[in-house]
Structure formats: structure tokens, C-alpha cells
Amino acid sequence: MNKKKAKLISDLAREYRDKDITPNCQHFGECGGCMFQDIQYEDQLILKKRYLNIILEGVCAVEEVLPSIPYEYRNRMDLVTAFRRVGLRRRGDYREVVDIDSCKIMQPGSSEIFSKVKPFLCDVEDYDYLKHSGYLRYIVLREGGFSGQVMVNFVVSERENRLAHPIENIIDEVDSISIILNDGRADLSFGEILEDIKGGYIEDFFGDIKFRITPNSFFQSNSRVALEIYKLIREDVIGKTLDLYSGVGSISLYVAEGVGDITGVELSSEAIRVANINRINNNIDNVRFVCDDALKFLRNVNERYDTIILDPPRSGINPRMVKYLNMLSPDKIIYLSCNPDSFKNDFQALGSYSIEKFYAFDMFPQTPHIETLGILKRMG
């Protein structure tokens, strides 16, 4: 979120802050993870609705932001280990880390494992991300929103395992443990898998569809809200479908029943490998996955699609894709976005589509972030 938009949502939040509310978390105000624990949850939804209507003025009117559970919803937490602390960066100061003992938005299973492993991390050299020296950079906790299976990933800067003591104290209580190498200067919580200590993946269920989640693969951070979004997508998908930025195939596989063939396109080879495992495990034969860049795929495609699904990163689609999307001219474009600014820019660039339906979801309660779903219909 750029400074202008951050100021806008901060100004709106000021109107709803309630001095009589005791924040749920002792770290609120220091930690950069949450901003709205001093605002009633119903008011958070109103605030986000107002924010969206300002951002999307002239594009569409937002009537409501669909709610989530306010706490214990987040199925992935990336906790930085630096300066003899384990936690999250201080709000407004990247150079500082707030040492935390618990996190109120983390799912309960992950929170329990974190409380058990944290005391054993004090004997492990952490990583100074300002000087780019040290060993343990992150501990990443992931949990199946419906299955409750828990994964722990240790992100390290060197090709060695110094984590025997922490691991032996949680290994019987988790489903997956991996050591991941990031030996570059970039501040990333993923990389080469050095060692799968246990499991190598967890699974989660959206209805009767089972998904495998591996250490580096993307999966929506709020499983309950994601399932509601996928249900709405399934209602609107028609005919032959192209799913761009398809990840581990979660949308493709969930909507596959009752529609024509689906092609999922994803640049990550690991995600494609897992997507094909998910396809086989669910006995779905009308979906195929292609490892390719979305723009490159569109340039070379010779088929017509009735529906194109877009779930791009925060920056939105590559601007050069607009030309090819318009050339393909699908009847529908279903656009899932975590950035309303990007959605607005991409929608206006397309030009030949109108918004048939629009939904907003509170995917990330206590934070300023919002997920939106636009069902776009070709005009003419």
C-alpha cells in the first residue's frame, strides 16, 4: 500500500477508534501485524467499505464488505528471527523487531506450536538482516484451515542444520518440518528446500477437494474466506476456461466440476508439480496445468476461452497482457485481487468489459488489506 493510500485508510480509521476497547493482543501498537484492534469489528467493515468506494469511484459501488472471523484466521505466519528476538517488525520501523509470545490472528494450532518451539530458538544464531550475517532468518508456520495440519519451515542462510534441539521438541506434534535455504541478500521467507525433516507437505480440504500445500507454495491465507470466494467463482465460470496465475491449482480444481476443460497457467515449477499431484489425488480429468509466464502463454495461445480467471499478485497483471486478453475476448473475466488499485487500473485498461458483479471480502481482519472479486462481462 503506497503512502497516499495508507494515509487515506489511517485517516478513516481515526474516526472509528474507540478508547474504551482493550486490544486483544499485548503487542498491539508496537507490532506491524495489526492496525485495527482498537476498532469494533463491525466498524472495521464499514471503514473498509468507505475506503473501497473512494478507491473505486467511477468504477463500481461497493455495498458491503463480507466478514470473516475477527481472530485466529491466518493460516500462514512468517516470524522473523533477528536481534535476539522472534516476532514481527515494529510498525513503521523496518529496522526493529517486536519479540512476541503469541499472535491473536494466527490459527490456534500454529500458535500452540510456536509457544513450544520459541524457547528453544534462543540457542540458535539468528540473522541480522541489516548486516546480512547470521543463520536463522525466519520460522514460518502454516496450518490447514480445515484440516488443522501444521507445517513448520525454518529459513536459514547457510547449508547446514543447526536446529536439532528445536526440531526434536516439536517433531511429534506437527505434520511437516522443512529447512529452507535463502543465502541471498533479499529478505525472503522461501527458497531452496535443503531438507524435509518430516512430511514435506500438509493437506487441506475445500469441501470434497483435497489440496497438498508444500513449503514454498502459495495458498490463500484465510481458508474460510477463500472457500466462500471459490464458491462464488464456481457459480460464474462457464465453458472452456483459462486460469492464469493458477498456483497449486486450487481455483481450477475447485470449479472443475460442471464446466468444460480448464487450463491452469503458473510460472512456478514447484506449484505446477503440486497442482498435478492435486489433480491426480482428486481424480479430476478435465484440468491441465502449464508451467509458463502468463504473458508468454497469451501471446502464443491459439484457442478461444469462454472464461478467463485472473488471480495476479498485488501489482496486478502485466500491462502488455491487456492487448491479448481483449484479442481472446472471453465472455467472462473473473478477477480476484488483493489490491483494489491494481484491479481498478487493469479493469479500466481492458475497456471492453463491464462489471456484472462485484464482491469485497475481509480476508485480513485487524489489518487494512481487502480482497475483491470482480465478475466482468464482455460488452457487445
Indicate if the pLDDT at residue 3 is higher than 90: no
Higher per-residue pLDDT: 92 or 60: 60
Determine which helix (DSSP H) or strand (DSSP E) holds 297, and give its type and residue range.
helix 294-300
Among 167-171, 202-206, 289-293, 299-303, the minimum mean pLDDT is found in 299-303
Question: Is the Cβ–Cβ distance between 359 and 66 less than 8 Å?
Answer: yes
Query: Cβ neighbours of residue 26 under 8 Å, at least 6 residues apart?
Result: none
Closest CA to 248 of 316, 154, 333, 311: 311
Q: What is the DSSP code string of 14-75?
A: HTT--TT---SSTTTTTBSS-S-TTS-HHHHHHHHHHHHHHHTTTT------B---SSS-BS
Q: Is 15 a catalytic residue?
A: no
Among 64, 112, 338, 356, which one carries the catalytic annotation?
Answer: 338
Indicate if the pLDDT at residue 2 is higher than 80: no
The band of 37, judged by pLDDT with boundaries at 50, 70 and 90, is very high
Q: pTM of the prediction?
A: 0.94
Q: Is 338 a catalytic residue?
A: yes
Question: What would the mean pLDDT of 241-248 be, rounded to a whole number?
Answer: 97
Residues of the chain with pLDDT > 90, as a percent, come to 93
Residue 169 buriedness (CB in 10 A; 0-12 / 13-18 / 19+): middle
Per-residue pLDDT tens digits for 70-86: 999 999 999 999 999 99
Per-residue pLDDT tens digits for 16-29: 998 889 999 999 99
Residue listed under C-alpha cell 491441465 = 288
Per-residue pLDDT tens digits for 319-365: 999 999 999 999 999 999 999 999 999 999 999 999 999 999 999 99
